[in-house]
Amino acid sequence: MGLIMVVFWLFFIRPQSKKAKQQKTFIEDLQKGDKVVTIAGIHGRINKLNDDGTIDLEINPGSYLKMEKSSISMEWTQQLNKAANTPAVEKK
């Protein structure tokens, strides 16, 4: 029974808590000007970080949405920024 609990903790609880900690750190490290993607798939740039846990997201020049910080997707934002930093490869 103890072995089952250890395996359950090792494969389910530990990775989930590690990912939650990474998400929290990611949200705390957001800054004005960062390009982000929300969990709804909205792409934009952070215009303002508010004290109430929200951000003003600029989706087009002059168009802003007020959103919760927790609605920012860490995985999609990292993929967006990774693709932007990777040089384009020409296909022949």
Q: What is the pLDDT averaged over residues 30-47?
A: 93
Q: What is the pLDDT averaged over residues 16-38?
A: 91
The residues, ordered by sequence, that sit 6+ positions from 46 with a Cβ below 8 Å of its Cβ are 30, 31, 32, 33, 34, 36, 55, 56, 57, 58
User: Which pair of tokens denotes residue 43?
Assistant: 């792409």
Residue with tokens 């860490």: 74
For the entire predicted model, the pTM comes to 0.72
Confidence of residue 66 (pLDDT cuts 50, 70, 90): very high
Query: Is the predicted pLDDT of residue 64 greater than 80, yes or no?
Result: yes
Q: How far is CA 69 from CA 30, 42, 87, in A?
A: 9, 13, 29
Domains and CATH numbers, the chain: 30-86 (2.30.30.140)
